Structure 1
């Protein structure tokens, strides 16, 4: 089980605002905190969880592989933190001899703090926003309404040559008893290179199952 929490803002008087969340990770996935302890978490991932390198990489190149992975993870963590990220989740152990290309980020959501608008109205408005080639609708997360948005992202080849299209799933969740405060859980994967393949569908189902374990915690 992974536990983490958004930065604390001043709650309404008398309200018991959950300070942390919990979710159950699949085997081989780890949490990288983005607000503090990021460096230590990356060290643990690289030298504890990633003791094995993928098949086909010579033993002499193992350190170079880890250094390359560290640069990629640090770059990903910096980008996530700039976008309000709280925690980055990654698969770090190979499955069937390969490393999964997938990740998800839990982040503060800059929706605004208009306390007069009920969460259901905000979710309905977000669900009505255009999602090119995708879908959006209301779902239940931790016993309350939330938004689930699914879409495909075709990257601009002129700007990011060699990058693969990705399948993306976003959840937008209100923080209970703290009107106007929201978090998002954002999943992204190129799958096996085909965003519509059965393999990619399995990764999406795995992420949805993880979000199904999401709970708020007062501890």
Structure 2
């Protein structure tokens, strides 16, 4: 019995690309979608989740506090969306009477693309190796595994530019704090040229090298440890 060449050929298996990702959040943290539903999510956060206010704020000032918080969150969401952001994550319930000053953003990264158009695919391992070898002033970069696949983790400090800060409005100067930052760069499986980043930032307790700040970084790393792709 013989078989023709056509019969022997097996059609290539269809490649399935993940449609979204999933994370397990700590208690008191929420997701703010940045591509659609942002306004509704902010409304829910401000008037449902924030039933409490920090210690020291009179009840009569609770509404003003929520409105000020809303303006800050809207500003942060707009900036994140402009930078390719998909989702913004925030702690919205006080812990021990205080609100944690921390957040992280999941965003698309245009590695291997020009003007949004995929170019010739560069091997993911080569991209990770190049990123790991880049200089990270005041920090470190290392290859890690996220969702069972190679990724990159960068840990560094960010301090305000003193010259630019001197000419900034007083209100900006008052909130410009040194921050501890951790970034993860993750390739999308079976989709060359598509990457996402997870970018964490916190001023901690005012000391970006304190034990408290380290605990917040460890919490973020634990959240990224729950990251997985969804093919639904």
Check whether TM > 0.5: yes
1:67, CA displacement in angstroms? 0.3
Superposition RMSD on alpha carbons, in Å?
A: 1.1
Q: Any stretches of 5+ residues in structure 2 without a counterpart?
A: 1-12, 113-117, 166-172
Tell which structure's C-alpha radius of gyration is larger: 2
Counterpart CA distance in 2 for 1:52 and 1:45 is 11
1:102-181 equivalent positions in 2, closer than 5 A = 102-112=102-112, 113-160=118-165, 161-162=173-174, 163-181=176-194
Counterpart CA distance in 2 for 1:182 and 1:67 is 35
Aligned to 1:218: 231
More helix by share: 2
Number of residue pairs matched by the alignment:
207
TM-score norm. by structure 1 comes to 0.92
Residues 73-106 of structure 1: CA deviation (Å, up to 9, x unaligned): 0000000000000000000000111000000000
1:14, CA displacement in angstroms? 2.6
Counterpart CA distance in 1 for 2:63 and 2:138 is 41
Contact 1:29/1:93, CA 8 A, preserved across alignment: yes
Is 1:62 paired with 2:62? yes
Contact 2:110/2:193, CA 8 A, preserved across alignment: no
Counterpart CA distance in 2 for 1:42 and 1:115 is 39
Q: Any stretches of 5+ residues in structure 1 without a counterpart?
A: 1-12
Aligned to 1:23: 23
